[in-house]
Amino acid sequence: MSSTNFSTFIKFFKYTAVCGLLFFVFINYIKAFPLSAPGVGGDDEINNDIQEMNQELQTRRQEIDKLKKQAEEYRQKLISKRNEAFSLQNQIDLLNTQIAKTKIDIKTKEQEIELTKLDIKEIQNQIELLKANIARQKEYISHILRVIYQNDEMSYLEILLMNDSLSEFFNQAVYIENLHTGLHKKLIELKGAKENLDAELLSLEEKKKKLEEQKQSLEEIHLRLSRQEQVKDELLTQTENSEKKFQSMLGDLKAEQEDINGEIVSLEKAIRQKLMDQEKEKSLQSLKGEKIGWPVPKNTITAYFHDPDYPYRYIFEHPAIDIRAGQGTAVSAAASGYVAKAKEDSGCKGSYAYIMIIHADGLATVYGHLSNIAVDEGSFVIKGQAIGASGGMPGTCGAGRLTTGPHLHFEVRLNGIPTDPLGYLP
């Protein structure tokens, strides 16, 4: 045999042996992973759950849409009622409408909570499917790698002797190529499945956070309902269903609120002038830019600034935010400044008690319904310093007449004019 023919034979032998090795790997793969493997029962069960949840999700969304339409009807009715003349019957009707709307809001929020729970369950099912899929793909890939590793050191001669026909190597060449192409695709799919799993896990955390926010919101709506029902009961009790008594009470309450507001405005002007005369204004100027903080631990807001649902709106626009705080909660100065007013409820007769503090930048803060006052008028306080204790429980010391439960009435005034505290709070 010539050297040229021998060289050609060696090349052909090596190529044939390599094909034999690849075909051996392919046969082992086929034995371990049949192309028509039966479905996994767990996946089918999860898929059925997902279909059932999708149907329930659709039903709940339709129910929410229906409730929102009812809430809008009540909202329009409230607008109409607010434009009517102040009368006892009008206020009772207004409160009844508010109560009815709030009950609808509660049902809506409950449905939204259940919807979010279903979303969470659906995501959890998707996560289980992805995890199962990833596990199968990992097993698929690891098996191929094991077979390749086990046969990596097999000699060409051993592979050749294990097969009867060389033509089988060439017939299976395309399958071998597809096997490795499929392995590459599976690796890409595995990476994609892992990315999808990470996205679903992130979505799950966001849904759980949303659920907690919805639960807190539901609690706030329940508090609003309780407050509205209490105001209605008090109104009926105080007026004894008499229009004359209602008008008399209305006049007294409006006058009382005007006196409080007038006192705050005039005091602020007087105190600022006094500080300038005593050159203490300079110490305030050194505090320019100091941020206002929460006077009590950040909590549920039970009434917003100029809240359209404020139960005493027929008497005055709510110039503050009401922050839920247990009776006797420590109240801190929202910013450094001078105490302009510390009005106590002498003898705890239930009159309105409050503190006003003058700050830099033309700002002042007011803290209402205080059950205890711990600072003196004219004293300088620093941000975060304890100045008293919250109140608001009807009939208790410092609560005043217009209160529906324990909370802190917190005002921010700019040049004497009430402004939304949420625009200043972190």
Torsion angle defined by CA atoms of residues 306, 311, 315 and 319, in that order, rounded to the nearest 10 degrees:
-30
Q: Which residue has the tokens 């929020």?
A: 109
pLDDT value of position 299: 75
Asked whether the predicted pLDDT for residue 264 surpasses 50, the reply is yes
* 135-161 confidence digits (pLDDT tens): 988 888 887 666 656 555 544 445 445
The domain ranges of the chain are 3-236, 243-423
CATH homologous superfamily of 243-423 equals: Glucose Permease (Domain IIA) (2.70.70.10)
* 273-314 confidence digits (pLDDT tens): 888 877 766 678 788 889 999 999 987 898 999 998 888 888
pLDDT value of position 151: 53
Find the helix or strand (DSSP H, E) in which 357 lies. Answer: strand 354-358
243-277 and 173-239 helices cross at what angle (nearest 10)?
110
> What integer is the mean pLDDT of 178-198?
80
pLDDT value of position 30: 46
Asked whether the predicted pLDDT for residue 229 surpasses 90, the reply is yes
Asked whether the predicted pLDDT for residue 18 surpasses 60, the reply is no
Cα–Cα distances in angstroms (integers) from residue 241 to residues 90, 234, 253, in the given order:
12, 11, 17
Confidence of residue 164 (pLDDT cuts 50, 70, 90): low
Average predicted confidence (pLDDT) for the chain: 83
pLDDT value of position 176: 56
pLDDT value of position 281: 66
Instruction: Give me 252's structure tokens.
Output: 């007294």
Lowest mean pLDDT among 105-109, 175-179, 411-415: 175-179
Confidence of residue 171 (pLDDT cuts 50, 70, 90): very low
Cα–Cα distances in angstroms (integers) from residue 212 to residues 63, 102, 111, 209, 257, in the given order:
21, 20, 14, 5, 37
Find the helix or strand (DSSP H, E) in which 365 lies. Answer: strand 363-368
Other Cβ atoms less than 10 A from the Cβ of 397: the count is: 21
Q: Are 150 and 142 in contact (CB under 8 A)?
A: no
Task: Return the top range by mean pLDDT from 59-63, 170-174, 330-334.
Answer: 330-334
Asked whether the predicted pLDDT for residue 31 surpasses 50, the reply is no
